[in-house]
Chain A
Amino acid sequence: MTERNAASEESSDERLLRAGLHSLVEGVEPERNALARLLARRRRRMVLRSVFVGSGVAVATTVVLLFALVVPNGLWSTEPVPVGIGPDSYLVRSGGGSLVAVSLESGDVIRELGDPGDLVAVARGRDRVYVAPATGGVVAMGSRRTEEPLEGVPEGEVVTALAAAGERVAVAYEDRVLVVSDGGARRIGFEPGLVVRDVAVESGGRLALVVQDRDGSVGLRTVVPGEDGPRRLGRSVVSCGPTRVTWTSTGLAVLRPVSCGDGESVRITTVDPREGTRLAGGVRVGVGAPVGQSLRLSADTADRMLVSAGGNRNWLVEGGTVRSVPCPDSGCSAGTAVM
Chain B
Amino acid sequence: MDDELTTELVALYHEHYRQLLRMALLLVDDRSAAEDVVQDAFVRVFDSRARLRDRDKALAFLRRAVLNRARSLLRRRQVSKRYQHRLVQREPAPDESVQRVDRTVLAEALARLPRRQREAVVLRYYADFSEAYAAEIMRVTPGAVKAYCSRGVARLSSLLRERV
Which residues of A are at the interface with B, using a C-beta cutoff of 8 A? Answer: 1-5, 11, 13-14, 17-18, 20-25, 28-31, 34-35, 37-39, 41-42, 45, 49, 84, 87, 126, 301-302
A3: chain B residues within 8 A (beta carbon): 128-130
Query: B10 touches which one: A5, A28, A49, A301 (CB < 8 A)?
Result: A301
Taking a contact as CB atoms under 8 Å apart, the answer to whether A17 and B156 are in contact is: yes
Task: Tell me the residues in window 39-58 of chain B with beta carbons closer than 8 Å to chain A beta carbons.
Answer: 39, 42-43, 46-47
The smallest C-beta distance from A6 to any residue of chain B, in angstroms, reads 8
Contact among B43, B125, B154 for A41, CB-based, below 8 A: B43
Is A30 a contact partner of B10 (Cβ separation < 8 A)?
no
Please name all residues of chain B whose beta carbon is closer than 8 Å to the beta carbon of A29 when the two chains form the complex: 18, 21
CB-defined interface of B104-118 with A at 8 Å, one 1/0 digit per residue? 001100100000000
Please tell me if the beta carbons of B107 and A42 are within 8 angstroms of each other in the complex: no
Contact (A21, B26) CB under 8 Å given A4-B124, A42-B46, A126-B3: yes
Once bound together, how far apart are the Cα atoms of A38 and B87, in whole Å? 25
Instruction: Give A24 to B103 CA distance when docked, in angstroms.
Output: 6
Residues in B131-157 with C-beta less than 8 Å from chain A? 131-133, 153-154, 156-157
Q: Which of A4, A20, A30 is within 8 Å of B129, CB to CB?
A: A4
B3 touches A301 (CB 8 A): yes
Choose among A28, A39, A301 the residue that contacts B31 (Cβ–Cβ < 8 A): A28
Q: Are B126 and A301 in contact (CB under 8 A)?
A: no
How many residues on the B side are at the interface (Cβ–Cβ under 8 A)? Answer: 42
B39 with A38: CB separation less than 8 A? yes
Q: Is the CB of A1 within 8 A of B132?
A: yes
Partner of B25, one of A28, A34, A35, A84: A28
Partner of B125 from the list A21, A34, A42, A45 (CB cut-off 8 Å) is: A21
Q: Bound complex: CA of A37 vs CA of B102, how far in Å?
A: 34
In the complex, which residues 2-52 of chain B have their Cβ closer than 8 Å to any Cβ of chain A?
2-3, 6-7, 9-10, 13, 17-18, 21-22, 25-26, 31, 35, 39, 42-43, 46-47
- In the complex formed, the residue of A with least CB distance to B152 is A17
Residue contact A13 to B126, C-beta cutoff 8 Å: no
A31 contacts B26, C-beta separation under 8 Å? no
The answer on a CB contact under 8 Å between A42 and B132 is no
> Which of B3, B26, B43, B102: most chain A Cβ within 10 A?
B3
List A contacts of B110 (CB < 8 A): 21, 24
Q: A17-B156, A23-B103, A301-B3 are in contact. Are A42 and B131 (CB under 8 A)?
A: no
Does chain A have a CB within 8 A of B67?
Answer: no
A17–B6 alpha-carbon span in the complex (Å): 37
Q: Is the CB of B26 within 8 A of A17?
A: no
- Chain A residues with CB below 8 A from B124, complex form: 4
Given A4-B129, A30-B17, is A14 in contact with B153 using a C-beta cutoff of 8 Å?
A: yes
Residues of A within 8 A of B106 (CB): 20-21, 23-24
Q: Is the CB of B43 within 8 A of A21?
A: no
Which of B3, B31, B130 is in CB contact (< 8 Å) with A5? B130
User: What are 20 A-B contacts with C-beta separation under 8 Å?
Assistant: A1-B130, A1-B132, A1-B133, A3-B128, A17-B153, A17-B156, A18-B125, A24-B26, A25-B25, A30-B35, A34-B35, A34-B39, A35-B13, A38-B13, A39-B9, A39-B10, A42-B6, A84-B2, A301-B7, A302-B10
| A14-B25 Cα distance, complex, nearest whole Å | 20
Q: Cβ of B130 and Cβ of A2 under 8 Å apart? A: yes
Q: How far is the CA of A87 from the CA of B3 in the complex (A)?
A: 8
Q: A123–B43 Cα gap in the complex (Å)?
A: 28
Closest to B131 in A: A5
- Minimum CB–CB distance from B35 to chain A (whole Å) comes to 6
Q: Which 5 A-B pairs have the closest CB atoms?
A: A25-B22, A21-B126, A18-B125, A2-B133, A20-B106
Q: Is B121 an interface residue (CB 8 A)?
A: yes
B6 close to A87 (CB less than 8 A): yes
CB distance from A179 to the nearest CB of B (A): 19
